[in-house]
Every structure is written in C-alpha cells, then in structure tokens.
Amino acid sequence: MAKVKSKWICQTCGYETSGYLGKCPDCSSWGTLVEETYSKTPIREASSMADSRNSAPQLLKDISLDESIRYTTGILEFDTVLGGGLVMGSLVLVGGDPGIGKSTITLQSCGNLAKNGLKTLYVSAEESAKQIKLRAERLNVDSENLYIFAENNIEEIQKNLTELKPEILIIDSIQAVYNPAITSSPGSVSQVSECCGILMHIAKSRGITVLVIGHVTKDGAIAGPKVLEHMVDTVLYFEGDRYKSYRLLRSIKNRFGSTNEVGVFNMEEGGLVEVSNPSELFLSERSNAIAPGSVVIASSEGTRPILVEIQALVGPTSYPSPRRVTTGIEYNRVLQILAVLEKRVGLNLSKQDVYVNAVGGIDIQEPAADLGIALAVATCARNVTVDPETVIIGEIGLSGEIRSVSNLESKINEAYKLGFKKVLVPKSNLPLKNISHNLEIIGVSRLLEAITSSISVASNK
C-alpha cells in the first residue's frame, strides 16, 4: 500500500517545505503555501500508468526521419509559429488570457487535422460535450475523425486513449485535470505537475501529439509550477486585447523550430482568421489628415516586419509633476527618449504631460521604434506634422546619435508594399544593397537632424 505523506507547496512558484510558512522564501508571496497530501507511488508504477513501451538505444544514423513527421494544422500562421506544423509525439502548451482564443484555435486545428484523416480526441475538462458541439457548429468544424470527451480525471482519459488510439490529443485545460491519487484540488501545483508528466509520457511513448491549453495568472505567466514550461516541447502565448479583434500568437519555447516567429489572427464571428498582411490591418483606420504627433514606424515581430502608427499627445500639465503615460510601449523606454529630447535637442518637457500610444493595442518592444517615438513627441510639442507617406526607423542612443537597426531592408520593403514614398533611416545602415525600388531613403545620424529633416519633409509636401 502506498504511504501517504503531506507537504506545503507554494501555489505561485511551486516551492516545497515540510511545514507551514506565512511567506514563501523563494518568491516572497504571502499566504500562498497550501498543505497537500499525496501517495508516494514508485516511479516505475506511475510510469506504467501511461502504458509505456520498452525501448532501446539507437544509433543516430539509423533513426528514420519519419519518426518526427509534422502534421499541418491547415492554419498557415499557426503552422509557421510551430516551425512547420505539429511534430508527432510532441507536447505543446498554449497559454493566454481568458477569452483570447486558445480553445478556438485548437478546435479549428482539430477540425482540419481530422479532415486530413488523423484520429483526433478533444478532451474538455471544463465544458460539456454539448457545449463543445455548439462552439464547433459556430466555427463550422465537423469531421468523422473528431471525438469529443468531457472528462477531467486523468485515469479515465488514459483508459479512453488506450481504447481509441488517437493520433492527436487536446487537453482543455491542464489546470482542470486531476489525478485521483493526489488529494489536492485540480489546478494545484502538484496536480498540474503530475498530470503534465503523465501526458508527456503518453506523448513520447505512444507517439501521440498532445496540445495542452493553460490558463495564465494575473501576472501573465502560465498558472502552475514553472517546471511545467520546462517539461513541454513548445510554449505558445496568445497576446492581444480581448476587446480588440486581432490576436498575436508568439512562440516562447520551441524544440522543433524557431522562437522568432509570430502569427497574427483576426477574431471574427466564425472564429480566428489568419492575417497575411498585419501592417495593413494596423494602419487600416489611419486618417489621411494627419495631426501633429502621428508617425508610422516599422518594427519586427519575430522575423516579420510590421508597420504601426505611433501617436503622441503633449500638453501643459495641471499637476506638480507632469504625467507620463504609455500604451503598448515600455514606460522606461519612453522616459529615456524624453530625457534625450530635453538634453540633446533642447525640447523643454518639464511642464508638459506626455501621452504615447501604439495604435491598435500592439506591444512595441524593438529599439527601432525609438526614432518614431521621439519624432511623434517632438512634432506634437512643436505643432508640426510629418509627411504621412514617410516611415520612421531608428534606435536612439543617450548622446542623441541614431544607431543602426537589424532587418532594415525587410522593413523598407514592407513600407514600399503599402505605398509609402519615403523612409527615414540611420545613416550607419547605408548604403543598402538589396533595394531595387525607387523609394526615397533619407539617412540621418543625429536626433536633431532627424527632427529637422522630418519637419522639412512635411513643409515641402
């Protein structure tokens, strides 16, 4: 008979101790340690639950590539982020905020995979089979090879896997699945870690591709122990404002592909629709009558260049300390740019409120957006405009120099495709070798020079 033991586990970071502590010594969270009792099951006995098969060492040269075959989901953006599709026997974790589209994209993928002849099992631990059917009808998902199973007991799931023998398994969600051998409630650190370990063993031993949906905490991290992200092969995050229509699917970890790819989707009534040209989406509502403080920058999301409008608003403050508000741009990055504008350009912002926004809700992280942010603030403060047909690209140093950026040619090509006529770029990136079109490229080396050039461009329009 298995020996029953207990331990105290932090529900935030997974720290374990034999006794209660008010404050977790690892993550400094208060009141997060919960007592959990469990049966000390031998590793060999637990592994046998997953119906493992015996294996032996193989020579690298004797391993067939067919053992790592990829399944295409039929959603190009999803396949691109995965590195070309789902790898057989892989364990993929998809995380994101509630209502962001995790269940939607997995159910759409299930339908496409099942239509291609792959036996697919969708396990819902949170919804009934009828509720899944309603969502499937809305998404126009229907296939003879798609099975729905409403269950959250990992042992019952394993039993049906043995009988059904699917090639694709979806778990929605890992925080709702539980192992009856552990007395803690579903979603606890022990339950999540144990159930994920069993699913990983199933994926590797049987060659079943497993997609696991995971909830996130208020800090944006996957709920459960950090080891969860280490156990899986791929970690994907859905990003975006749930009140906006677009979604970004970003790869955080990928053992079978690049982590530099980003998929862009648009949430419509019939489900998630892939966006082949995200720049056009983000600039679709941009007015031709440009007000001061509006510029277009080119940023990279993974290997893909995306054009985004940056808007700045500068006005007199009514507070003792002027306000600095940013949306979609790192706050400290904007403070640094404002300091350079004051010191190197002589722009007095000490009594001005400054608001900076990346239109569309996208998060801009690349330093190549620095120059665009600076020009948006400077032109609004001076009440002048930048030519609406100009794209701004460049990183700003603390001495006011414009530093070179990566992937400049792809950014310029993206601007040309969308009909822009001019591009303001770092002079250190010139000359460019692989530019064949007649787009006017203006090189600048100092921030003051860039502001002067942009204002003169506007006045000569």
Q: How does pLDDT run across 196-216, given as a tens digit for each residue?
A: 999 999 999 999 999 999 987
Provide the pLDDT for residue 33.
Answer: 86
Phi, psi of 33 (to 5 degrees): -85, 125
Please state which CATH number belongs to domain 281-459. 3.30.230.10
Provide the pLDDT for residue 200.
Answer: 93
Give the up-direction half-sphere exposure of residue 419: CA atoms within 13 A in the CB hemisphere: 4
Average pLDDT over residues 19-42: 79
**Cβ–Cβ < 8 Å for 50, 198:** yes
Q: How many helices (H) and strands (E) does the chain have?
A: 12, 23
Please state which CATH number belongs to domain 42-50+67-276. 3.40.50.300
Provide the pLDDT for residue 26.
Answer: 84
Global pTM value: 0.79
> Has residue 52 got a pLDDT over 90?
no
The reply to whether omega before 173 is within 30° of 0 (cis) is yes
Per-domain residue ranges of the chain: 1-40, 42-50+67-276, 281-459
- Tens-place pLDDT, residues 133-151: 999 999 999 888 999 999 9
Identify which of 52-61, 88-97, 297-306 has the greatest average pLDDT: 88-97
Chain centre to alpha carbon of residue 36:
33
Chain centre to alpha carbon of residue 428:
32
- Tens-place pLDDT, residues 312-341: 999 999 999 999 999 999 999 999 999 999
Provide the pLDDT for residue 123.
Answer: 96
Angle ∠(137,142,146) on CA atoms, nearest 5: 120
Q: What distance in Å separates the CA atoms of residue 38 and residue 136, rounded to the nearest whole number?
A: 38
Tokens of 92: 């993929």
Average pLDDT over residues 430-447: 88
pLDDT tier, 48 (very low <50, low <70, confident <90, very high otherwise):
very low
Give the other-Cβ count within 10 Å of 36's Cβ. Answer: 20
b/e sequence 290-327, b meaning 16+ C-beta within 10 Å: bebbbbbbbbbbbebbbbbbbbbbbeeeeeeebeeebe
Q: What distance in Å separates the CA atoms of residue 371 and residue 447, rounded to the nearest whole number?
A: 8
Provide the pLDDT for residue 3.
Answer: 63
Closest CA to 297 of 205, 111, 122, 424: 424
Angle ∠(253,256,257) on CA atoms, nearest 5: 70
Helical spans, DSSP H, in 341-402: 370-381
**Cβ–Cβ < 8 Å for 247, 104:** no
Which has the minimum average pLDDT: 37-46, 205-214, 257-266?
37-46
Tokens of 111: 């339908």
Q: What distance in Å separates the CA atoms of residue 240 and residue 360, rounded to the nearest whole number?
A: 9
What does the CA dihedral 96, 98, 99, 102 come to, rounded to 10 degrees? Answer: 40
Which has the minimum average pLDDT: 82-86, 152-156, 299-303?
299-303
> Has residue 47 got a pLDDT over 90?
no
Average pLDDT over residues 359-376: 92
Angle ∠(207,212,215) on CA atoms, nearest 5: 165
**Cβ–Cβ < 8 Å for 372, 297:** yes
> Has residue 71 got a pLDDT over 90?
yes
Average pLDDT over residues 435-457: 86
Provide the pLDDT for residue 362.
Answer: 82
End-to-end CA distance of the chain: 84
Whether 281-459 and 42-50+67-276 are alike in CATH topology: the answer is no
pLDDT tier, 44 (very low <50, low <70, confident <90, very high otherwise):
very low
DSSP output for 136-171 = HHHTT---TTEEEEE--BHHHHHHHHHHH--SEEEE
Q: How many residues does the chain have?
A: 461
